[in-house]
Structure 1
Amino acid sequence: MKRILLAGVSLATIGLSSGAQAADPAKGPCPYGGDPYKNYNCLDSYLGTDFLSRFINYYRLEWGHEAAPSDPKAPSSRRAEWPATPQSTPPMPFTEWPYGGSTSIGVTRPSSIDSPLMNALGNTSAGSWMNDNHIQVYGWINAGGNFSSNTVRGGNVPAAYDYNPNTVQLDQAVVYFERLPDTVQKDHVDWGFRLAPIYGENYRYTTAFGLWSDQLLNQNKNYGYDLPMAYGEVFIPQIAEGLLLRFGRFISVPDIEAQLAPNNYMYTHSMTYTFDNYTNTGLQGTLAVTKNWMLQLGVSVGSDTMPWNAGAKIANPFPNPLFPGTTMLKDPGAIPSVTGGVRWTSDNGNDSVYVVADAINSGTWGYNNLQWYGLTAYHKFNDQWHISFETYNLHQNNVLNANNPAALAAFAAGGTPFSPQYLAFNAPGLAQCNSTAVFSCTASVQTYLAYLNYKATPLDNISYRIEFYDDKQGQRTGTKTRYVETGIGWQHWFSPQIEIRPEFSYYRSLDANAFNGNSNLGIPANKNFALIGSADIIIHF
C-alpha cells in the first residue's frame, strides 16, 4: 500500500490507500480540476507517483497558499482545553510563543512537518517505513547578502549574522532527522529525538568549544559545520499535564530569537541574541503543571562547551593569580550548571511571560560561561499585531583586565586557556575594567529588546526591531560602550516552503567606535555607526 505524508498524517493512518478517491461519482474521481485544496483525496493524483514528480509538484501545489491542504480526518494536534494558538506560520516564524529545551507540550503530534521531501518519499519503501515509525527528514537552504557602510572583512561585527560586509553568502544548509514525541495524548509514555547538522557561515555563531571548534578558533574559516542539536526526549504524560525530559545538546533555553533561520522574524539578529548563550549540553526537564503554568529545571556543563572539557587541563607556562600552578583548566566554564525557568500563558493565548536563569554556576571566566538572568514576554493585540519583548542581565567573574599590564603580559605569554598559543582566533574577550590596578573584574551586560510585528496578509509579516545593549566592560562585543539599534524587515512567503526577508538596520555605539574593525586581523574599529541593508531567501525541503 502506498502512503503519503501531509501535515503529519499518512493516508494509511486514516484508513485510505493512496488511490482511494472519496468523491461525487457524477463528477469523476477528482472534481474541481483535481485541486487538493477543494478535495483532499485528489492529493496523490496531483502529486504523481515517482519521487522527482512528487517533490516538484509539492512546491507547485503550495505556491501562493498559506498552508498545505488540510486532511479533514486528521486527529487534532492540540488539546481541546489548551490556550488558543496565538500565531500562524506563515507569516510568522512560529505558531506557539517560543520556549526552549522542550518540544511544545500539549500541541505536538508525531511526524507533523509539512515537507516536500517527506511527501516525495511517501511512495518509497524507505518513506513508508519512516511514516510508520513517525520519523521524518527535512530541512532548508538559506542564503543572503548585505550592503553595508562597513568595508573591513568581518567589520559588520557586532551586527550579526552578516559577519562580512558587502557580500553574498551561504548562511546555513540544515537537515533535521527527528521523531517528535506525541505530547497531545495523555495515555502512554512517548519518545523522540533530533539530529540537526548545519553547514555555512552561521557555524561561527553555533560553535561549542571542543566540538569541531578548531574551524573557528584556530582557522577562522568563513564556512564550517556544526551539530547544534543532537538530543533525545522522553514524554511522561501521567505527571501533572505532562513532563518532558530532553538530554543531549540543544539550543539554550531563553530568547525570542534562535540560531536556525526559519525561527526568526528577520534575517539579521539583535545584539541581545548574538552575544548570549547559544547551546547547552545536559538534561533539561519541562513540566506542564497546568495548561497555563510551566516549570523547568535542568543541569548542563556550562554553556557552549562540551562535557569532555570538564576537568581537562593544559600546561601553564605563565602562572598568574587567575590560574596558579603549572597547569590550568582547558575551560573553567565546563562545570556543573543549573537552569531554572517558569512560564505563564493566558487562557486566551494572547499573553505569555517566561522567566529564566540559564546555566548558573560559579561564573568563572570561561569560553562562554555566561550567567544569564532574564525574561521574554509576548502580547497579541489582535489578529494583525503582536509585540515580543526580552531583557536580561548576564555576567562572568574574574575576567582578565585588558587595561592591566600584568594581565596583558600573562595573556600574551600563554597564561590563560584562551591565549593565542591555544586559540589563535575568536577567543573569549578580555574585560575593560574600570580600574587599571585590578588584574581581573566582573564583566556584565544589560540589554532590552523589542519586536513589533504586523501581519499585513496571510503571507506577509512586517517586523520593527529596537534594542538597547550596554556592554559595561566590553567583554561581549570587544568595545566598552552602550549601543542602540533599530531595524525594519519584511518577511514574505511565496508559499509555506519559500520565503524572503529584506530589511534595513541602523546601529550606533554611543561611547566609542565599535564598527569596521577586526580584532583577528589587528584592525581597530573606526566607526561609531553602521547602516546595513540585507536580504535572504529560505527554501525548505
Structure 2
Amino acid sequence: MKKLFLAGVSLTAICLINAANAADTIPPMKSGYACDPYKNYACLDSYLGSDFFTRFVNYYRLEWGHEAAPADPKAPPSRRDYWPPTPQTTPPMPFTEWPYGGTTSLGVTRTSSIDSPLMTAIGNTAVGQALNDSHIQVYGWIDGGGNLSNNTVRGGNAPAAYDYNPNTVQLDQAVLYIERLPDTVQKDHVDWGFRVAPIYGANYRYTTAYGLFSSQLLNQNASNGFDIPMAYGEVFIPQVMEGLMVRFGRYISIPDIEAQLAPNNYMYSHSMTYTFDNYTNTGVEATLAATKNWMFQLGVTVGTEAMPWHVGQKITNPDPNPLFPYTTMLKDPGATPSITAGVRWTSDSGNDDVNVVANGINGGQWGYNNLQWYGLTYYHKFDDRWHISFEVYDEHQNNVINANNPAAAAAFAAGGTPFSPQIMPFNSPFLAQCSNSTVFSCTAEARAALTYVNYKASALDNISYRLEYFDDVEGQRTGTKTAYVETGIGWQHWFSPQIEIRPEVSFYKSLNANAFNGNANLGIAPNKSTAVIGSADIIIHF
C-alpha cells in the first residue's frame, strides 16, 4: 500500500528533477517567449520535445500553475451553440457539467477531449497517432492519502468514508481509463464509444459487486483490492430528437452528486449519503435528450452491485425452520431484473439542474446491496464563484432478518442465507434491528439529506462545505440503529490540471447510539458517538 503511494510521489519527484536537468535544452516558460504554446499553439510540439520521457515531463511543466492546457484554435466547438452554457470549470471544480450519470454527457462531448500527459507523450509515435486517429484515449491517475482521527480501532472510522482505517496513510486508488467518447455534439451520424476502468487500492472496498472479484473483500477482507467499476459500451443516435444514448455494461449508478473515482468529487472523504446508497449497476441504460432542457433515462439492470451470472437461486433448506421464511440461497436474491427511471431538467441559463430518479427497483428482497432508491439531486449556480449541490433520498430493502429476534439471528448464524458467516465471513450485509422483536424480518429503511456549498476562491482553488443528515432507521446500512449528522470543510487546490491536493476536516455525530471506533469483522462493538477526522490526499493524473 505505502510502496505504491510512494511510487506515485517518486514519479512526481523524478519529473521535477528531470525538468530541472532539461532547463538548458528546453526553454523556460516565461511571458513574451516566442515559442510559448500559450501564446502560439504551433510551438507546442517543439516545446515538448521528441522522446517519450521528455514529452511526459515537459507536459507537467507546461501546465504547472495554469488552469488549462494551451487551446488549439483549430479545435471544433466542444458543445452545441444552443445548449445551456457550461456551468463550471475544471479546475477548480471536479466537473464542468452538472452530474447525471448513466451516459456520456449529451450535446457537449467531442471524441478527443482528454487533457492527458500520457497521450501527449506518445502523440508523436505510431501508437499514439493510431490511438488518436481512432479517438481512443488511455489515461488515469494515482490517488494517495491519509488521515488523523480520534478513533483507534482498525476500521474504526466507519461509517465515515473513504478513510476507513484511522491514523494511516494509504493508496486510495490507482486508476487506468481506456475509452472512446462518442461525439454527442454532432447530429449527422451514429457514433459509438466505450470505457474500461480498472481500479486498485483501498477504495475497492466501496465499489465491490457481489460475484466480481468479491472474494477479496467478502472472504479475505483485504486492505487493497482490484475492481472494474466501469466496463461499458455506448451507441449515440443523434437523429432521435436531440439525441439518444444507449449504454450497456457496468457503470456508476445515477444520479448522485459524488462518484467513487477521486477526481469527480469536491472532497477527499465522501458523505454517508453516498457511502450507503447504490454504487454501480450492470445492464442497459437509455438516455434521451428530448430537448436542450429535458432528458429522460430508462434502464434495465440486474439490481445493484450484482452480476448477471449471480442471479438469485434457491434450494430447499435441509433443516426447515417454521420461523425461517427463506430457503437456503446459493446466490444473491437481489440479483434480479430491475428498473431505473429518471428525468432531468436544466434551465436555459444552465444555472439550475434537477434530477428525479428511481434506481434499482424490483421486489426489494434483502440482497447484498439491493437498495430500492428514490430521490433527487439539485444544483444551483448563484454566480461564477458560488454554487450549491443538494441531494435527498429514501431507500429500503424488504424481509431483512431481524437481529433483535433470537430465533432469526440463530437461523442466520446457522447458514441459511448467502450472507451467513459460513459463506461470507467478512463485510456481509448487516441485519435489521427491527422495532418489534417478535417479527422474523422487517423492511429496513434509510433516509438522507446532503448539501455542498461551494466557493471558487481562484481559478485553481475550490472550498467546499458539506452538511448532511443520515437516518439509518433499522441500522441495516451502517450496523447501528441511529441517525447521524455530519459536517466538514475541504480545500481543493490544483497546482495544475494534472496535480491536485484536498485537505479537509470533518465532524460526525451519531445521535441515538455509539457508532464509531468499532469493527464488526473483528467483533469489536463501537464505543464512541463522535468522530473527528482530518485528512488529505494528492491526485497525480497521467
- What does residue 461 of structure 2 align with? 460
Cα pair distance change 1:319/1:459, threshold 3 Å? farther
- What does residue 27 of structure 2 align with? none
Cα pair distance change 1:325/1:437, threshold 3 Å? closer
Structure 1 residue 100 displacement after superposition:
1.0
1:84-137 CA deviation, whole Å, 9 max, x = no partner?
000000000000000010000000000210000000010111111000000010
User: Does the residue aligned with 1:59 lie in a helix, a strand or coil?
Assistant: helix
CA distance in 2, matches of 1:86, 1:104: 13
Given residue 308 of structure 1, which amino acid in structure 2 is its aligned partner? Answer: W
Q: Contact 1:318/1:414 (CA < 8 Å) preserved in 2? A: no
CA distance in 2, matches of 1:127, 1:65: 25
Q: Contact 2:242/2:290 (CA < 8 Å) preserved in 1? A: yes
CA distance in 2, matches of 1:327, 1:165: 37
CA distance in 1, matches of 2:480, 2:534: 23
- What does residue 495 of structure 1 align with? 496
CA distance in 1, matches of 2:461, 2:326: 59
Cα pair distance change 1:399/1:70, threshold 3 Å? same
- What does residue 526 of structure 1 align with? 527
CA distance in 1, matches of 2:528, 2:328: 40
Structure 1 residue 315 displacement after superposition:
7.3
Identity of aligned residues (%): 77
Given residue 364 of structure 1, which amino acid in structure 2 is its aligned partner? Answer: Q
CA distance in 2, matches of 1:203, 1:315: 34
Q: Contact 2:518/2:527 (CA < 8 Å) preserved in 1? A: yes
Q: Contact 2:324/2:440 (CA < 8 Å) preserved in 1? A: no
Please give the TM-score of this superposition, normalised by the length of structure 1.
0.93
Given residue 358 of structure 1, which amino acid in structure 2 is its aligned partner? Answer: N
Cα pair distance change 1:494/1:325, threshold 3 Å? closer
Given residue 367 of structure 2, which amino acid in structure 1 is its aligned partner? Answer: G
User: Does the residue aligned with 2:304 lie in a helix, a strand or coil?
Assistant: coil
CA distance in 1, matches of 2:216, 2:401: 25
Q: Which moved more, 1:384-393 or 1:411-420?
A: 411-420
Within a 5 Å distance, the mapping from 1:48-67 to structure 2 comes to 48-67=49-68
Please give the TM-score of this superposition, normalised by the length of structure 2.
0.93
CA distance in 1, matches of 2:286, 2:232: 13
Within a 5 Å distance, the mapping from 1:22-421 to structure 2 comes to 32-313=33-314, 316-320=317-321, 327-421=328-422
Within a 5 Å distance, the mapping from 1:413-432 to structure 2 comes to 413-432=414-433
Q: Contact 1:319/1:410 (CA < 8 Å) preserved in 2? A: no
Structure 1 residue 34 displacement after superposition:
1.3
1:340-396 CA deviation, whole Å, 9 max, x = no partner?
000000001000000000010000000000000000000000000000000000000
Q: What residue ranges of structure 1 are gaps of 5+ in the alignment?
A: 1-29
CA distance in 1, matches of 2:120, 2:430: 47
Cα pair distance change 1:326/1:529, threshold 3 Å? closer
Cα pair distance change 1:294/1:321, threshold 3 Å? farther
Q: Contact 1:516/1:526 (CA < 8 Å) preserved in 2? A: yes
Cα pair distance change 1:281/1:322, threshold 3 Å? farther
CA distance in 1, matches of 2:52, 2:40: 22
1:485-536 CA deviation, whole Å, 9 max, x = no partner?
0000000000000000000000000000000000000000000000000000
CA distance in 2, matches of 1:370, 1:459: 37
Given residue 418 of structure 2, which amino acid in structure 1 is its aligned partner? Answer: P
Given residue 443 of structure 2, which amino acid in structure 1 is its aligned partner? Answer: T
- What does residue 451 of structure 2 align with? 450
- What does residue 480 of structure 2 align with? 479
Structure 1 residue 238 displacement after superposition:
0.3
Q: Contact 2:174/2:201 (CA < 8 Å) preserved in 1? A: yes
- What does residue 515 of structure 1 align with? 516
CA distance in 2, matches of 1:490, 1:133: 38
- What does residue 25 of structure 1 align with? none
Number of aligned residues = 512
CA distance in 2, matches of 1:270, 1:135: 33
CA distance in 2, matches of 1:524, 1:314: 34
CA distance in 2, matches of 1:440, 1:322: 10
CA distance in 2, matches of 1:223, 1:430: 26
1:316-339 CA deviation, whole Å, 9 max, x = no partner?
454456865764251110100000
- What does residue 442 of structure 2 align with? 441
User: Does the residue aligned with 1:34 lie in a helix, a strand or coil?
Assistant: coil
User: Does the residue aligned with 1:57 lie in a helix, a strand or coil?
Assistant: helix
Structure 1 residue 271 displacement after superposition:
0.1
Given residue 69 of structure 2, which amino acid in structure 1 is its aligned partner? Answer: A
CA distance in 2, matches of 1:75, 1:223: 42
User: Does the residue aligned with 2:33 lie in a helix, a strand or coil?
Assistant: helix
Given residue 342 of structure 1, which amino acid in structure 2 is its aligned partner? Answer: V
CA distance in 2, matches of 1:417, 1:410: 12
Cα pair distance change 1:480/1:325, threshold 3 Å? closer
Q: Contact 1:317/1:414 (CA < 8 Å) preserved in 2? A: no
Cα pair distance change 1:441/1:457, threshold 3 Å? same
User: Does the residue aligned with 1:72 lie in a helix, a strand or coil?
Assistant: coil
